[in-house]
Structure 1
Amino acid sequence: MKNALVLQSDFGISDGAVSAMHGVANSVDHELKIFDLTHDIPPYDIWDASYRLWQTVTYWTKGTVFVSVVDPGVGSTRRSVAVETGSGQYVITPDNGSLTHISRTEGIVAVREIDESVNRLPKSGESYTFHGRDIYAYTGARLASGVISFEGVGPELPISSIVQLPVKEAIAEENKVEGIIDILDIRFGNLWTNISRGLFKTLAIPYGGTIEVEIKHDGRSIYKNMMTFGRSFADTHKGEPLVYINSLDNMAVAINQGSFAKAYGIRTGSNWVVIFRKIEE
């Protein structure tokens, strides 16, 4: 049985890199269905790659193979791995932290290191700078098309050995919840947090209610203001900020028809903290 192959990278589409990956996969099996998750990950941004995988993986059927190539350590001693997720998909990627979000949410049930003596594009010579084409796309296509089994990827590794990026878990305290800015809704500049709807609801803020929002970077306050908690952008006027529940059932911060991230220079990661405070009347 053939499974879908889904590609992600920070390569962009202004040159032939992504097309080369498609070509390698197609050469393995002309009938293989190949899709793109995104190739607009910011260059070298492993955190972003990790999040985009988690954002997407569970919407694909069991057996789907993802290839994620954001690889600032290409040619170094970092490992190339394939993992089976708790929801039954496979991810092929450098072992550099790009599995962090999936590991925390879906779980990883098995890990194998890619045996490059077998799973490497024939006649790829001694190039060590395009593993996305020569190793990851090639191995991913072989796995998705059934040329190799998961066991055929290479030797098994301990799950605990997978590299993890530092993550600050969302917490609830008296009259406040605190988390991090996990990712940006890139096109619109909204801030997506790791604070779940359920955790936020412990504050008992009704729709249309007001809440204080503070954003800190490395402990320094960057932004602090009162906002409306709304169901959608229609609950505020153009140019006004709001708090809402995003499509992943987590809390988000936005400016109606504006870019919050651009307006205040906000980025993502464990050192970008967001705090929602209930104001006592």
Structure 2
Amino acid sequence: MIILASMSKKLLLILSLFISYCSYAQNKIVVFQSDFGLKDGAVSAMKGVAMGVSPHLKLYDLTHEIPAYNIWEASYRLYQTVTYWPAGTVFVSVVDPGVGTSRKSVVLKTNTGQYIVTPDNGTLTLVSESLGIAEIRQIDENVNRRRGSEKSYTFHGRDVYAYTAARLAAGVITYEQVGPELPKEVVKLPYQKAELENGKLKGTIDILDVQYGNLWTNIGDDLIKPLNLKVGDVLHLIVYHNGKKAYEGDAPYSSTFGQVAKGKPLAYLNSLLQLSFALNQGSFADVYKIGSGSEWSVLVSRK
């Protein structure tokens, strides 16, 4: 009897661990991102496909306002967001100007346990570097494609990505059943990585704080520390577009926007602790015609 009781306790422990693992691997959360906008039914169609797989899924939006075909911004928004979602969350990112071509459709598992369903077209550039690649698999469309969609070549977001993501999140398929494993490599967009060289900071304007027109660079606070900046110190900023100078000027290093007069420039750390530039109550991007992405780089030094 004692032996049986001991075995029962072990079995219960194993069962508990198994249930815990399953809840970790499949939390039923799917997060959608696209460049579709919300003017038509494209986003609703993707969510409808997901709910058709399982009505118990929890569906959320990252954004559907990525500028059309802007793969870099899709990459950035994943980098900005994925890390805050629990392990097991499945992201669907559809910014796919090459839909129907030979680019691979993949599901990447990050080292922190999130999954990203997307074309391998550069969308995974930043998240693969920031969170790392635990594994990557190519979607087997013979298995993971919405039934009856075989003749459709222009809406993989609905027919392949939303369908595969829903099946994975709902536990209908395991990650291994997505398709064959690939080398831990993804297509990457070229860009100026953040670095400190001879007292000068180099980097990329990753994104615009779109509501306000602030310039967010990829230069983190770890690179800024060696400069021993204090509030009020003046930084000299040069912005390049495809290697050609687009802007040059000075901005005081500030902890709040109100430390400079209205309309005046300032440098500050954004919510991701990266060096950024703004006009107090104005749009830096609009006033000086500056954009974001891999073709926009910066050179920053102390004045």
- After TM superposition, the score normalised by the length of structure 1 is 0.96
The residue number in structure 1 matching 2:195 is 171
Correspondent of 1:143 among 139, 148, 168: 168
CA distance in 2, matches of 1:140, 1:271: 32
Equivalent position amino acid for 1:121 in 2? R
Correspondent of 1:223 among 247, 257, 261: 247
The residue number in structure 1 matching 2:107 is 82
CA drift at 1:218: 2.2
CA drift at 1:216: 1.4
CA distance in 2, matches of 1:224, 1:210: 13
The residue number in structure 2 matching 1:273 is 297
Equivalent position amino acid for 1:5 in 2? V
CA distance in 2, matches of 1:15, 1:151: 34
CA drift at 1:269: 2.4
Return the structure number with greater helix share.
2
Query: Contact 2:92 / 2:118 at 8 angstroms: preserved in 1?
Result: yes
Deviates more, 1:262-271 or 1:178-187: 262-271
- Is 1:183–2:183 an aligned residue pair? no
- Is 1:56–2:89 an aligned residue pair? no
CA distance in 2, matches of 1:7, 1:175: 41
Runs of 4+ in structure 1 deviating by more than 6 angstroms, as ranges, are none
- Is 1:132–2:157 an aligned residue pair? yes
CA distance in 1, matches of 2:57, 2:243: 49
Equivalent position amino acid for 1:252 in 2? S
Deviates more, 1:200-209 or 1:30-39: 200-209
Query: Contact 1:116 / 1:135 at 8 angstroms: preserved in 2?
Result: yes
CA distance in 1, matches of 2:221, 2:247: 22
CA distance in 2, matches of 1:271, 1:130: 29
CA distance in 1, matches of 2:56, 2:31: 14
The residue number in structure 2 matching 1:73 is 98
CA distance in 1, matches of 2:162, 2:138: 15
Query: Contact 1:170 / 1:177 at 8 angstroms: preserved in 2?
Result: yes
Correspondent of 2:126 among 97, 101, 114: 101
- Is 1:116–2:141 an aligned residue pair? yes
The residue number in structure 2 matching 1:159 is 184
* SS of aligned partner of 1:269: coil
Query: Contact 1:121 / 1:134 at 8 angstroms: preserved in 2?
Result: yes
The residue number in structure 2 matching 1:250 is 274
Question: Percent sequence identity over matched residues?
Answer: 54
Query: Contact 1:205 / 1:211 at 8 angstroms: preserved in 2?
Result: no
CA distance in 1, matches of 2:176, 2:269: 40
CA distance in 2, matches of 1:221, 1:164: 25
Equivalent position amino acid for 1:152 in 2? Q
Query: Contact 2:76 / 2:206 at 8 angstroms: preserved in 1?
Result: yes
Q: Deviations over 1:239-265 (max 9, x none)?
A: 011111011111111111111111111
The residue number in structure 1 matching 2:117 is 92
CA drift at 1:3: 2.6
CA drift at 1:93: 0.1
Q: How large is the Cα RMSD of the aligned pairs?
A: 1.0
Equivalent position amino acid for 2:256 in 1? S
CA drift at 1:125: 4.0
* SS of aligned partner of 2:72: helix
CA distance in 1, matches of 2:57, 2:286: 40
CA distance in 2, matches of 1:91, 1:262: 33
Equivalent position amino acid for 1:134 in 2? D
* SS of aligned partner of 1:136: helix
- After TM superposition, the score normalised by the length of structure 2 is 0.90
- Is 1:207–2:216 an aligned residue pair? no
Deviates more, 1:28-37 or 1:164-173: 164-173
Query: Contact 2:28 / 2:56 at 8 angstroms: preserved in 1?
Result: no
Query: Contact 1:4 / 1:34 at 8 angstroms: preserved in 2?
Result: yes
CA distance in 1, matches of 2:110, 2:90: 10
- Largest Rg, 1 or 2: 2
Deviates more, 1:166-175 or 1:240-249: 166-175
CA distance in 2, matches of 1:33, 1:209: 47
Deviates more, 1:265-274 or 1:37-46: 265-274
Query: Contact 2:57 / 2:170 at 8 angstroms: preserved in 1?
Result: yes
Where does 1:227-246 land on structure 2 (aligned, <5 Å)? Answer: 227-246=251-270
Equivalent position amino acid for 1:231 in 2? S
